[in-house]
Amino acid sequence: MSDTFDAIIIGTGVIGSAIAFEMAKAGRKTLSIDRNTQAGHGSTAGSCAIVRMHYSTFDGTAFAWEGYHYWRDWADYLGLPAGAGLAKFREVGCLVMKTDANGHLVRHMENSAALSCPFEEWDAAKIMDRLPVYSLESYAPARRLDDPEFGKPNGGHLNGGVFWPNAGYVTDPALSAQNLADAARLHGAQFRMGAEVVEILQSGGKVKGVKLAGGEEIHAPVVINVAGPGSSTVNAMAGVLDDMTIQTRPLRQEVVHVPAPEGFDFEHNGTIVSDSDIACYCRPEHGNHILIGSEDPECDTHQWTDDDTRYDRNFSDQWTTQAMRYAQRVPSLGIPSKTRGVVDLYDASTDWIPIYDKSALGGFYMACGTSGNQYKNAPIAGKMMAALVEYCEAGNNHDSSPLKFTLPYIGRDIDVGFYSRKRPINQESSFSVLG
């Protein structure tokens, strides 16, 4: 491939494909490169694909509330031909239990109210009416199975929660990335699959392209790192780590799939639930199953890996821990003898807030640290990254004068410096998958 491009995008997950779509729509000649053979077949495919609005930071809430609207209007946003197979967004709502750990959601409700993002406060009776298989005994703090206090109620009860009715999930996250890639192709974007970047080419303090494993060089004045769990490796190739306060690392995660309790149709009558009392979140899954993930309590050791291609893909005792924690909330839950679910990697940042930024190398940009809680924001992240590249390539210094970006649906301006690689660690973060 001897062509030169306006931009090379490394990664074709949901965010990388969204960036390709937005840049191609703006008239840029883009090439997306991925070592996988199909778009969305990296960590995007293992995503829980939850679209929620509750965040502990105002900026995070605004970004997520904006992002919801693209999933709601998915077909119109993409503009693909009639009959295209599209990922589906199921708007089932999200209930978040009020606990000491989340400050009883005072800040979350303030953020949503300021943005006119709908929410409802539910008391215990309302929760039990919606989820009659639940028990509201409190078990905090979360424990592991080998703790002698595991499974023992602490004597308290959950008294309520907050329900965000517009939340939901996408049924096929890999397909959503493929939808975005197809939409990008309609605007001239090119994709190179099954190709691995081994070097970031540069000269005179600026990027000039990439070299592939076979030795081929492809040139462009802009390279965008959206490599998911491989992002830290790509940043190291580019030599841009030294001025970054925020780093990213691949984090191994397990997600549990179990059948819903007999007699309750969780797939159609359940909802997404975030429950910091037992440190689990869940959502409905196809076939009347329940998907259960960890909210990263202190007792769960983070399983970092230095290699995003070689890691243990087998379930561990973490699977059983998560299933049994959720069984504290749903006493009639059956725990199958055969483990089912997903083992995959997150691209997690130091404070679990992503990096959407330029770098110390001219023309080299990054959309990193996004796994676990940024799937929902892919379309608006794509728009913002396209605007950031335009802003910086026009000669503006984003480090000293950060881009102000207008969120089109909700009409709010945000300071893109919030996502800077050089920011102080954000102490408002949950330091978990909750962001």
Reported as a single tens digit per residue, the pLDDT across 34-65 is: 999 999 999 999 999 999 999 988 999 999 99
The mean pLDDT of 4-28, rounded to a whole number, is: 97
User: Each residue of 368-413: pLDDT tens digit?
Assistant: 999 878 999 999 999 999 999 999 999 999 999 999 999 999 999 9
Residue 426 predicted with pLDDT over 90 = no
Across the chain, mean pLDDT equals 95
Residue 92 predicted with pLDDT over 70 = yes
pTM of the model: 0.96
pLDDT at position 369 is 95
- In the chain, the amino acid numbered 22 is E
pLDDT at position 292 is 97
d(CA 234, CA 200): 8
Residue 2 predicted with pLDDT over 70 = no
| CATH numbers and ranges of domains, the chain | 7-84+172-247+351-419 (3.50.50.60), 91-163+251-344 (3.30.9.10)
- In the chain, the amino acid numbered 26 is A
Share of the chain above pLDDT 70, in %: 98
Q: Which residues contact 332 (CB under 8 A, 6 or more apart)?
A: 133, 261, 262
| Residue in this structure with the two tokens 């807030």, named with its chain if needed | 353
What are the Cα distances from residue 266, in Å, to 119, 206, 293?
21, 53, 16
Question: pLDDT-derived band of residue 194, with 50, 70 and 90 as boundaries?
Answer: very high
Question: pLDDT-derived band of residue 359, with 50, 70 and 90 as boundaries?
Answer: very high
**Regarding predicted confidence, which is higher, 375 or 433?**
375
User: Each residue of 303-342: pLDDT tens digit?
Assistant: 999 889 989 999 999 999 999 999 999 999 999 989 999 9
Q: Which residues contact 5 (CB under 8 A, 6 or more apart)?
A: 29, 30, 31, 190, 218, 219, 220
Residue 428 predicted with pLDDT over 80 = no
Q: Are strands 89-90 and 50-51 parallel, antiparallel or unpaired?
A: unpaired
Residue 1 predicted with pLDDT over 50 = no
Q: Which residues contact 427 (CB under 8 A, 6 or more apart)?
A: none
User: Each residue of 242-258: pLDDT tens digit?
Assistant: 999 999 999 999 999 99
Rounded to the nearest 10 degrees, what angle do helices 378-393 and 58-72 cross at?
110
pLDDT at position 306 is 86
d(CA 274, CA 28): 40
pLDDT at position 329 is 98
Cβ atoms of 419 and 356 within 8 Å: the answer is yes
Cβ atoms of 29 and 407 within 8 Å: the answer is no
